[in-house]
A and B are shown apart, each in its own frame.
Chain A
Amino acid sequence: MIEISKVSKVFGSGDAAVAALKDVDATIQENEFFTLLGPSGCGKTTLLRLIAGFDHPTGGTIRLAGDDITYLPPNKRPVNTVFQNYALFPHMTVAGNIAFGLEMLGQSKTQIAETVDKMLDLVQMQALRNRYTTEISGGQQQRVALARALAPQPKVLLLDEPLSALDLKLRKEMQIELKRLQSETGITFVFVTHDQEEALTMSDRIAVMRDGHILQVGSPRDIYNHPVDRFVADFIGETNFLTARVAGKKVKLTSGDVIAAGDVSRHGEGAEVTVAVRPEQVRIGEAGAKGGIAATVNQTVYFGTDTHIHLKLGDGSDLVARLQSPPSGESGLSQGAAVSVQFTDGAVQVLES
């Protein structure tokens, strides 16, 4: 659907030149919910603006359904955008905003009225159709922005952190809503966010970006369970990092314990590696349990559904375990208690050191 090849973007020139994107390659499939995820300044919004046509790349090409659209202006692309703060037209009503793109395309009045009606139903804004966009709430503005961008039936919908201005509860609702809209309309969504949870819950595939590069592209499960490097593992969810050396098909932690880990065949015997394990894959048992790693409880933090247990291993390295909170809310693990720790099979990932 969208083929991004060798795309680079440099802002400014001379000494002040800043490379926002460096030779980025990506392919976005038809009907896909594709997310660009990364911290601020990673180039994700720049990439989105290049696809929208607001900026043009310094190098490389962007193709849409086989056509080269690299230098096409935004009004010539079958691509619409939902802006971060919605950018609704303040001098038009809700219905007027939704109709705008259709009017610009020169559609007939009856056709426009029909589509606007359909869109108002789709985002459940029928009751507020004649309100001005300054008179409705943030969540409602969000829906109007979506309807406005979907009305011309673009091939691709671009969403630039559209949920960041909403409060937590509304954000969760809109996450589900967006997913529903995407599957109902069958339009390719390209979604930009810095919120890893948002990315994980909605996306078909995620591209994790940093410093103008795409580090990894994969399904949420892929990215979460098999991060390619320390940055990805750290950015997506919480992770424990432990230093280890390859010992046969296993790894030996600095604490001296030998544990099973993912594929170590890339690394030579004795090579130093970092292993990553998610807190929810850490199990805590009674001290001295067979095959367990000795640890002491340093602190317990209660999060409602979960309780985080901060542990210290034999060599002083930190490890966090996430346990489901029992009905009483008391984990029964007091500070200083000696325990043993085990990792779920296949949960330990080996990263480049």
Chain B
Amino acid sequence: MSTSLEKQRARDGWLLSAPALVLLVFAAAGPLLIVATYAFLTPGDYSGVVWDFTLKAWFQVLFERDIFDDSISMADAHLSIFWRSIRLSLLTTILTFLFGLPTAWFIATRPAKQRAAWLFLITIPFWTNLLIRTFAIMEVIRYDGLLNKALLGIGLIETPLRIMYTDTAVLIGMTYVYLPLMVLPMFAAIDRLDIRLIEASYDLYATRLKVLTKIILPIVRPGIIAGSILVFVPSIGAYVTPRVLGGGKKMMVGNFIELQFGAGRNWPLGAALSLILLLIVSVALIFYVRVSTRSDSDG
């Protein structure tokens, strides 16, 4: 009796998890397998791939062959795109943290009734199309935009700042777009923070700075880590924001990959770049996990 019941249970278990399995296979594993395969094929003449195994795409990621004398050199442009992506994503993460911590703290310390309203305000941008939000930021930072008008108005600058189509523009845009992703997990962590721990440390002679560094930050650390991952991962693969605010010149990996699948007509290179991006994100995630578990064990 019991064994047939167990078998039944096992079968039910598979049946119940079937939707998730189907989703995993078709939405995650399948596409990833296709990308991984394409990275080792030869580009077709107009687009697509020819089923001809080669490592050329991987070679192209790092090196370029001179069309006249066939000499091989490092593909500096590719490396600088990767470097810019990593640098801008890290800076975005840091900036969203610096703006997000006080914001999350402010919301978490409001009376319970007001909190929902503040959280709603934070999430409002999510209801708006990313493209529209990015154009809105453009209105603010462009040559004759709001920011320049304001700065000129109060006499802080004499000539308008050229922010558009620079790394700074991309950074401002991404910080704005991804800020809620930092605020929400940090809010959740601060909300759970027992206010008496702060009183206890203050009672035990901690200065305000020590209360922050010794008590608040270590305890809300899981929220900071979650927020950092949520901001860093989409930042490094960002496409719309760098496209609109960085113009064609200040490309990030996302734009570069799109180029290969579009005008570049080099799908294998695009696929290889995607896999490298995946690798960077995975390394970042493993690093975060290491950092968070280490802090748990040495206190």
Contact = CB atoms under 8 A, between A and B. Distances in A.
Contact of A81 (B200, B219, B299): B200
A44 interface: no
Given A85-B196, A91-B218, A75 B205 contact: yes
Contacts of A148: 204
B206 A104 contact: yes
B207 A93 contact: no
B210 interface: yes
A87 B199 contact: yes
Contacts of A88: 200
Interface in B178-194: 194
Nearest to A101: B204
B215 A89 contact: yes
A91 B205 contact: no
Given A91-B299, A92-B299, A93-B299, A83 B196 contact: yes
Contacts of A302: none
A74 interface: yes
A87 B197 CA distance: 5
B147 to A, nearest CB: 40
A75 B203 contact: yes
B197 A89 contact: yes
B189 to A, nearest CB: 12
Contacts, number: 65
Interface residues of B, number: 20
A97 to B, nearest CB: 9
A78 to B, nearest CB: 9
Contact of B200 (A53, A83, A93, A152): A83
A152 B200 CA distance: 13
Interface in B236-278: none
A16 interface: no
A154 to B, nearest CB: 9
Given A83-B196, A85-B196, A91 B219 contact: yes
Contacts of B201: 89, 100, 104
Given A96-B299, A132-B299, A80 B196 contact: no
A90 B214 CA distance: 12
Nearest to A92: B299
A73 interface: yes
Interface in A118-160: 132, 148-149, 152
A53 B214 CA distance: 21
A302 B235 CA distance: 73
Contacts of A87: 194, 196-197, 199-200
Interface centre among A73, A91, A148, A149 (most CB of B within 10 A): A91
A52 interface: yes
B206 A75 contact: yes
Given A89-B197, A90-B219, A104-B210, A81 B205 contact: no
Contacts of A81: 199-200, 203
Nearest to B202: A74
A54 interface: yes
Interface string B5-31: 000000000000000000000000000
Interface in A52-68: 52-54
Interface in A149-200: 149, 152
Interface string B203-244: 111110010001100110100000000000000000000000
Given A90-B219, A92-B299, A54 B199 contact: yes
A200 B299 CA distance: 41
A148 B200 CA distance: 10
Given A89-B215, A96-B299, A104 B199 contact: no
Contacts of A101: 204-205
A17 interface: no
A149 B196 CA distance: 14
Interface centre among B201, B203, B214, B218 (most CB of A within 10 A): B203
20 contacts: A53-B203, A73-B202, A74-B199, A75-B204, A79-B203, A81-B199, A81-B200, A81-B203, A83-B196, A83-B199, A85-B196, A87-B200, A89-B201, A91-B295, A93-B299, A100-B204, A104-B201, A104-B204, A152-B204, A152-B205
Interface of B: 194, 196-197, 199-207, 210, 214-215, 218-219, 221, 295, 299
Given A87-B200, A88-B200, A104-B210, 10 more contacts: A75-B202, A75-B205, A83-B196, A87-B194, A89-B197, A89-B201, A91-B295, A93-B299, A100-B201, A104-B201
